[in-house]
């Protein structure tokens, strides 16, 4: 972070702590693990744990839930929400861009000073605390 920015998200107009602040890495990873585990359970139940089915279930869950309610199951359990920078719901196109880049893995691992991965930058979204 530069001297002009005191905390991640300040340039985006987000508070330093509490609701509306950027979600921290630990929460993000745990939410991802929860969502992946749920996808694996569904895949095990219906497709003998086929890895392609797991990936499809994970992708669909992320795409549809974030597009409609703004969070995946893991996000909800850990008090996070994906929002557009203007505060509106993400919608189907932005959510599709976001999950497509997450599934490529590398874009999600490259972050800026505001802790936004390339997937969030491309979709013009941010993952914030909802409580």
95 in a domain, yes or no? yes
Q: How many CA atoms lie within 13 A of 127 on its CB side?
A: 28
Q: Which domain holds residue 59?
A: 22-129
pLDDT in tens, 11-29: 999 999 999 999 999 999 9
| Mean pLDDT value of segment 112-130 | 93
Q: Identify the helix (H) or strand (E) that includes residue 129.
A: strand 125-129
Residues 104 and 130: beta-carbon distance below 8 Å: no
Give the pLDDT of residue 125. Answer: 96
80 in a domain, yes or no? yes
Residues 22 and 126: beta-carbon distance below 8 Å: yes
41 in a domain, yes or no? yes
Helices (H), the chain: 25-47, 51-68, 73-77, 92-103, 106-109, 118-123
Give the pLDDT of residue 68. Answer: 97
- The model's pTM is 0.91
pLDDT in tens, 63-82: 999 999 999 999 999 999 99
15 in a domain, yes or no? no
3 in a domain, yes or no? no
Rounded distance between C-alpha atoms, residue 26 and residue 63, angstroms: 22
16 in a domain, yes or no? no
Handedness of CA 79, 82, 88, 90 (dihedral sign): negative
Total domains in the fold of the chain: 1
7 in a domain, yes or no? no
């Amino acid at each position: 972070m530069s001297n002009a920015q005191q905390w991640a998200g300040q340039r985006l107009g987000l508070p330093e702590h509490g609701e509306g602040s950027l979600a921290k890495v630990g929460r993000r990873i745990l939410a991802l693990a929860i969502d992946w585990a749920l996808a694996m359970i569904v895949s095990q139940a219906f497709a003998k744990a086929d890895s392609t089915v797991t990936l499809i279930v994970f992708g669909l869950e992320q795409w549809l839930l974030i597009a409609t309610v703004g969070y995946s199951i893991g996000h909800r359990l850990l008090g996070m929400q994906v929002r557009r920078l203007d505060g509106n719901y993400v919608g189907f196109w932005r959510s599709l861009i976001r999950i497509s880049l997450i599934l490529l893995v590398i874009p999600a691992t490259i972050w800026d000073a505001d802790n936004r991965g390339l997937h969030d930058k491309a979709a013009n979204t941010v993952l914030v605390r909802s409580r």
